[in-house]
Chain A
């Protein structure tokens, strides 16, 4: 099993969700986050004074999938969330040791 962590631009969330559920992904966790990467913030002006916005709002997805699906999910996220402009986000893939569905006690791939 793999855990895929992706940060994307907030306005791409619905599109990514639809594409993933169409491909058979049955669940994901979504968190509103702030952070910086290559985009490294920008400046805004309030009442004539410039100030730095050091952390940019993003959405973080956490998706647990069978190892066989991982590459497909990564490719769907990267194509759907891509605008080609700076700040599109990143995708990380981690090994996942264990999973359990709380209601039934099913484990591992049965629980995904």
Chain B
């Protein structure tokens, strides 16, 4: 009752009337024990959800900082558009495809095809599952994961892909590809039944974005002039201050990403677990950054900030498959290996002439695979063969489905901008709007 009056009268009225209302209905305001768990878990999902939402800003800033200044407006446009499209298409198709409950179309493999609907206002006439959380909070939280998957793709393909074919891919990814494979684990599908362990999505989220990015980067081809005469030509990013801000924002958002994936905040045990997760998540990120700092100093004689940023993110991705069971020392090692993977994988992709502008593939795919396998070190419920099988199944599904979509889009519309447009920069050629017009000299 009191919660209903909160929403309808607003904050100012609340401050005035709350003491009076509390006095008048003192006996009614104490929620039942069953309600308390529901309230706290729902609240936890909402807080975690907006932390993960902020990762959209993190991705946008990271990518804006690592592309050249002539492509910044386009990169920001893609980030804005992809998040918004994910928000719409995830409720139209994605959510029930991912969480069909008892409504599987093909049991354990293909979820339900229906539009998401929320609980009635004030839970009027509804019987919510008081052992869990409100549908609205769960939808809100899960949507943010789906959007994060799409953000991973945009960075890898930056500076050369056309806007609309990219957005078309995003729609298929968030509405179909991501929800189907996520239902296999988190929706209670066949990977879950096999015993696959992926706490917050090293595989379900990060490697899925990574596979889609890898497939796209191969089909799209490298930026003009990136690989010439057998040499790699670096194209330094426009603004490392923004890239660093973006990395810290992602780091912040990850506390919601991993912490919220505990899924319950109704007992002291769950609250303590969320605290473990926050601490382990932070430790792994720090270890990834330190590993990249030391390794770039040793390998290249100077530390490389862009690698340190990638190292921190790789540490975060590595711990995401199991942020709960490791000790702080284990979390340090798991994250540090993630940082090491990035420092070696970035030049490796260059040798293969796969142009990944922001390092999304090493960070999200390679560290995601590592993190998924590393679950076996600290969680006795995980089996190495099941983890590996699941990685391969998800990888095969996402690679094949992404490749089909990329190739179809390529045949229908073409994926790349023209040579002239790419050299001029997508900001001026595709948008007619520059991020830094005072500095362009045009």
Contacts and interface: CB of A to CB of B under 8 A. Distances in A.
A22 to B, nearest CB: 37
Given A45-B302, A51-B233, A51-B234, 18 more contacts: A45-B300, A45-B301, A46-B234, A47-B234, A47-B304, A47-B306, A47-B307, A47-B346, A47-B347, A47-B359, A48-B299, A48-B300, A48-B304, A48-B350, A49-B232, A49-B234, A49-B347, A50-B232
A35 to B, nearest CB: 20
8 contacts: A46-B236, A47-B304, A47-B346, A48-B307, A48-B347, A49-B232, A49-B347, A51-B234
Interface string A31-68: 00000000000000111111100000000000000000
Nearest to B234: A46
Contact of A46 (B299, B301, B306): B306
A76 B434 CA distance: 46
B313 interface: no
Nearest to A45: B300
Interface string B348-365: 001000000001000000
B232 A45 contact: no
- A interface, how many residues as a size bin? under 10
Contacts of B359: 47
B415 interface: no
Nearest to B233: A51
Contacts of A51: 232-234
Contacts of A47: 234, 304, 306-307, 346-347, 350, 359
Contact of A48 (B233, B236, B301, B343): B343
Contacts of B347: 47-49
Contacts of B343: 48
Interface of A: 45-51
Interface residues of B, number: 16
Interface string B289-321: 000000000011110101100000000000000
Most buried by A among B232, B302, B306: B232
Contacts of A46: 234, 236, 304, 306
A60 B68 CA distance: 29
Contacts of B232: 49-51
A46 B302 CA distance: 10
Nearest to B235: A46
A45 B359 CA distance: 16
B346 A48 contact: yes
B353 to A, nearest CB: 12
Contacts of B306: 46-47
A50 B300 CA distance: 9
The 3 closest A-B pairs by CB, nearest first: A48-B347, A46-B234, A49-B232
B68 to A, nearest CB: 12
A108 to B, nearest CB: 37
Contacts of B346: 47-48
Nearest to A48: B347
Contacts of B350: 47-49
A49 B307 CA distance: 12
Contacts of B301: 45
A47 B232 CA distance: 10
B109 to A, nearest CB: 40
A49 B236 CA distance: 11
Nearest to B306: A47
A47 B308 CA distance: 10
Contacts of A49: 232-234, 347, 350
Interface in B259-303: 299-302
A46 B232 CA distance: 10
A30 B302 CA distance: 32
A56 to B, nearest CB: 17
Contacts of B236: 46
Interface in B335-379: 343, 346-347, 350, 359
A50 B302 CA distance: 12
